[in-house]
Amino acid sequence: MDELVHSVREIGVLQPVVVRPDTTGEAEYELVMGERRWRASQAAGLDAIPAIIRDTTDDNLLRDALLENLHRSELNPLEEAAAYQQLMAEFGCTQDELSQRIGRSRPQISNTIRLLKLAPEVQLKVAAGTLSAGHARALLGLKDPSMAAPLADRIIREGLSVRSTEELVSQQDALLTDEPKKTSRENPRHERLDYLATSLSDRLDTNVKITLGARKGKVQIDFASVEDLNRIMDILGNG
């Protein structure tokens, strides 16, 4: 609870609580879901928090309300991560079940949820859109989490790509363990490929990896199910 209070104080409530009109006459609304977020908001001194109002306690309708909120186009990656976590916690969903329910790949859900492990100051940059989810996931690989915030500032200041960020993280970890960073002439950097992989990942809403060998290249696209693959093919077909 202390960690949640700190997160709410620094970032705010990422995912709305669910309320319904109170039939007892004691209050205007009755809290249905989100008691921990509500209590943490009180402890953090917030005057108002986002809420979804529903007239029923039926789990299916409440789940639909949360999914409707999840599919809002303006959700930032952290709000999306909070929505995934809330759905799994309050409805007992696994990542695989959630993947099938909302038509998104399990790796994409897993990688998005990991963003909630970032330090609050880094999460703020992701929420503000100054740091991409790809950059943030690279920072999660740091052996020393305290280095995430200063490295995030450097990424923004120098406009580093995701691939450059991964190399920066590797260099930082090598310094921490006193291991010299290995270089290889067989795997040169390809900034354009990194950009295209990131663009495809965002468009297809799944993990995309592009590699280039000596004679040929390869594009790897992750999908969670046949339905998810059909969704991806539809997007590619309409492109």
Residue 108 has pLDDT above 50, yes or no: yes
Element (H, E) at 54: none
* 82 vs 3: CA distance, rounded Å: 15
**Is the model's pTM score more than 0.75?**
no
80-118-8-4 Cα dihedral, nearest 10 degrees: 100
Selecting among 10, 35, 179, 191, the annotated active-site residue is 35
Residue 186 has pLDDT above 50, yes or no: no
Q: Residue 232: what residue type?
A: I
Burial class, 92, CB count within 10 angstroms (exposed 0-12 / middle 13-18 / buried 19+): exposed
Looking at residue 187, its pLDDT comes to: 46
Identify the structural domains of the chain with CATH numbers, from first to last: 2-115 (3.90.1530.30), 118-182 (1.10.10.2830), 185-239 (no CATH)
The fraction of the chain above a pLDDT of 90, given in percent, is 7
Beta strand ranges found along 49-107 (DSSP E): 51-53
* Residue 60: band (very low, low, confident or very high) from pLDDT cuts 50, 70, 90: low
Residue 185 has pLDDT above 50, yes or no: no
Residue 151 has pLDDT above 70, yes or no: yes
* 123 vs 10: CA distance, rounded Å: 9
- Concerning whether 35 is annotated as a catalytic residue, the answer is yes
Looking at residue 75, its pLDDT comes to: 74
Contacts by 220-228 with C-beta closer than 8 Å and gap 24+?
Answer: 222/105, 222/107, 222/108, 223/105, 224/96, 224/99, 224/100, 224/104, 224/105, 224/106, 224/107, 225/99, 225/100, 227/100, 227/103, 228/99, 228/103, 228/104, 228/105
Residue 177 has pLDDT above 70, yes or no: no
